């Protein structure tokens, strides 16, 4: 995995400034309108755009940054991905929120001497939320990559397959999770400091820009992880490894074909011992010639008998006088 490229790849696009400006403006407007819940649509569009970015990295498509020309498709795609994220985030809600509520209720209604009990519940809920959040962060690459395969909610909710895929690629998944957290902290801090240097007004641009760069970085790492897992792992099937299966089956078919043709053809066709018929013809000719020769002497003998009869008749002539 190329970590340095994940931070600088977007600058290789000829139109990266324009594309990044559109993304920054979308984040800025969505953040301002988030109070009215209209800004959620902007985040959905951005999530769908990031799915296309992940797919480009996974499939090695250039330029990596997609064009902002499919707003409707990105909106639908982002809503589906948000549903997947919401389902996977439910354990965080059920694990932390009830304990936090119990702690708050105890702190307000129990006498002052027992305030520590409510604080303990609140601290425990925060610790549990932190632990479940780590689990969510570990599985996040798996269900995001699984969703990007066919862009269906059901693919992102295949818990058993995602569990196996994450277990088989736990090394790379841990690296991606740690790098995402570290990069988020660094980029957010730098963006805030630059915004303060620019008299606070600059923060209006630098904060959403830093957030967009974090999304760029995370999506590129997920795309690299999908490509590496697809080539080197056979467990999850989220990459391109299933394409290799038809090659093995196709090469085996031609090997069997000559065997079947050899069995179908009768062996008599290839038997050279059944061709003595032409040699019989000269013998038949010889046999046909021999009776003809035997007939000829009979014809020659007949004139001899005639001559002998004539010779026998010759001595009777002198007796006539």
pLDDT at 182 over 50: yes
Domain count, the chain: 1
Asked if 106 and 117 touch (Cβ cutoff 8 Å), the reply is: yes
Alpha carbon distance, N-terminus to C-terminus of the chain: 149
pLDDT-above-90 percentage for the chain = 36
Is residue 308 one of the residues assigned to a domain?
no
Q: Which of 21-35, 37-51, 302-316 has the lowest mean pLDDT?
A: 302-316
**Model pLDDT, residue 118:** 65
Kindly state the DSSP code that residue 319 receives in the 8-state scheme. T
Q: Which structural domain range is residue 48 located in?
A: 3-236
pLDDT range class, residue 299, cuts 50, 70, 90: very low
CA distance 240 to 165: 14
What is the average pLDDT across 234-258? 43
pLDDT range class, residue 109, cuts 50, 70, 90: low
Is residue 248 one of the residues assigned to a domain?
no
Asked if 165 and 142 touch (Cβ cutoff 8 Å), the reply is: yes
**Model pLDDT, residue 309:** 44
pLDDT at 27 over 80: yes
Is residue 251 one of the residues assigned to a domain?
no
Tell me how far apart the 2 most distant CA atoms of the chain are, in Å: 195
Is residue 59 one of the residues assigned to a domain?
yes
Asked if 96 and 132 touch (Cβ cutoff 8 Å), the reply is: yes
Is residue 222 one of the residues assigned to a domain?
yes
Is residue 166 one of the residues assigned to a domain?
yes
Cite the beta strand spans of the chain per DSSP E. none
What is the average pLDDT across 258-283? 49
Asked if 71 and 102 touch (Cβ cutoff 8 Å), the reply is: no
**Model pLDDT, residue 119:** 72
**Model pLDDT, residue 315:** 46
CA distance 95 to 128: 7
**Model pLDDT, residue 7:** 86
pLDDT range class, residue 298, cuts 50, 70, 90: very low
Cα distances (Å, whole numbers) of residue 72 to 32, 49, 69: 21, 11, 9
Is residue 145 one of the residues assigned to a domain?
yes
Q: Is 275 helix (H, G, I), strand (E, B) or coil?
A: coil
What is the average pLDDT across 279-293? 46
pLDDT at 314 over 70: no
Is residue 13 one of the residues assigned to a domain?
yes
**Model pLDDT, residue 292:** 44
Q: Which of 79-93, 106-120, 138-152, 174-188 has the lowest mean pLDDT?
A: 106-120
Q: Is 69 helix (H, G, I), strand (E, B) or coil?
A: coil
CA triple 4-50-157, angle to 5 deg: 110
pLDDT at 224 over 50: yes
**Model pLDDT, residue 21:** 93
């Amino acid at each position: 995995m190329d970590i340095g490229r994940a931070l600088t790849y977007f600058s290789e696009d000829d139109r990266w400034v324009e594309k990044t400006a559109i993304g920054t403006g979308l984040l800025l407007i969505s953040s301002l309108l988030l109070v009215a819940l209209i800004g959620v649509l902007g985040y959905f569009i951005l999530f769908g755009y990031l799915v296309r970015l992940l797919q480009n990295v996974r499939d090695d498509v250039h330029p990596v940054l997609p064009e902002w020309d499919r707003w409707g498709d990105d909106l639908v795609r982002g809503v589906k991905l948000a549903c997947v994220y919401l389902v996977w985030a439910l354990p965080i809600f059920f694990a932390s929120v009830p304990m936090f509520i119990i702690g708050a209720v105890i702190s307000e209604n129990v006498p002052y001497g027992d305030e520590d009990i409510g604080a303990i519940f609140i601290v425990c809920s925060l610790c549990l939320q932190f632990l479940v959040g780590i689990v969510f962060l570990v599985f996040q690459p798996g269900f995001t990559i699984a969703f990007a395969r066919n862009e269906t909610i059901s693919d992102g909710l295949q818990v058993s397959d995602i569990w196996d895929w994450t277990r088989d690629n736990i090394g790379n998944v841990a690296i991606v999770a740690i790098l995402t957290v570290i990069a988020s902290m660094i980029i957010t801090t730098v963006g805030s400091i630059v915004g303060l240097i620019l008299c606070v007004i600059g923060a209006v641009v630098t904060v959403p820009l830093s957030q967009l760069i974090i999304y760029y970085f995370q999506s590129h790492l997920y795309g690299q992880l999908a490509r590496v897992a697809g080539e080197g792992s056979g467990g999850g099937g989220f990459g391109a490894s299933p394409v290799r299966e038809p090659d093995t089956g196709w090469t085996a078919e031609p090997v069997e074909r000559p065997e079947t043709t050899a069995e179908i053809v009768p062996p008599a066709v290839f038997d050279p011992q059944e061709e003595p018929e032409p040699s019989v013809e000269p013998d038949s000719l010889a046999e046909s010639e021999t009776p003809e020769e035997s007939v000829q002497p009979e014809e020659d003998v007949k004139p001899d008998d005639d001559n002998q009869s004539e010779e026998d008749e010759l001595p009777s002539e002198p007796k006539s006088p």
